[in-house]
Amino acid sequence: MRNQMRKFTRNITTLPCTRNTRPSVIQIIARPTTCKPSRMARASFLMTQARPKGDLHLQIRHYATPQPESTSTISTGEYHAFADETMEALLTSLENLVDGAADAAYEVEYSSGVLTLKLGETGTYVINKQPPNKQIWLSSPISGPKRYDYNTDSGKWMYTRDSQSLGQLLEQELSTAFDKEVRLGIEPKENV
């Protein structure tokens, strides 16, 4: 049974398909329902009711795009230097922006590597360091969650799925939220 399951899982682990006219990847995972889940299984699978011995449980996951691999080639020390510099520059720029808006519902906080920007009815941005992955994570009320890797060639924090930088996205969204052009100055200037 286990050999059949391994062979079955190996053959259909990822299948390309289309869903809602967008390309996606389906991941199909097969496992006997009678086996005891490992730590990984507990984290990856939803537990279901026990079925008769020998039955297989299939779980299908839909992904809009394939999961990118982390492309970080910087050392841990370099990561902390780049991330701290970016977070400090963001904090300074956002404090100035919020002070200039003079709206009591707007607030910026920075503590333990987590920067929180509250914009009243627009929502809350959370930007934080993720040292194990060497990434900066953004949770935006407009565009949702994104994970940024540092690109040493451009000197920018880039999201690999859409090739947009952290600075570009924040400037675009905050310009809309504040109804004026916002320049955060967290990225190197482009050579024109």
pLDDT tens column, 27-84: 445 554 454 544 444 334 433 344 445 555 555 555 555 545 555 688 999 999 999 9
Identify whether the C-beta of residue 188 lies closer than 8 Å to the C-beta of residue 155.
yes
- Give the pLDDT confidence score for residue 47 in this predicted structure: 37
Q: Which SS3 state, helix, strand or coil, does residue 9 take?
A: helix
Angle at 118 between CA 92 and CA 125, to 5 degrees: 80
d(CA 146, CA 140): 8
- Give the pLDDT confidence score for residue 98 in this predicted structure: 92
DSSP assignment letter at 120:
G
Summarize pLDDT for 168-177 with one digit per residue, the tens. Answer: 999 999 999 9
Query: String of b and e for 10-30 (b: at least 16 CB within 10 Å)?
Result: eeeeeeeeeeeeeebbebeeb
pLDDT band at 189 (very low <50, low <70, confident <90, very high): confident
Match 């000197």 to its residue by tokens: 155
Checking 150-157 for CB contacts under 8 A at 24+ apart, the result is 150/72, 150/74, 150/78, 150/79, 150/82, 150/83, 152/73, 152/74, 154/188, 155/187, 155/188, 156/187, 156/188, 157/86
- Give the pLDDT confidence score for residue 190 in this predicted structure: 66
- Give the pLDDT confidence score for residue 73 in this predicted structure: 81
Task: Using the predicted structure, report yes or no on whether residue 91 has a pLDDT greater than 50.
Answer: yes
Q: Which SS3 state, helix, strand or coil, does residue 42 take?
A: helix
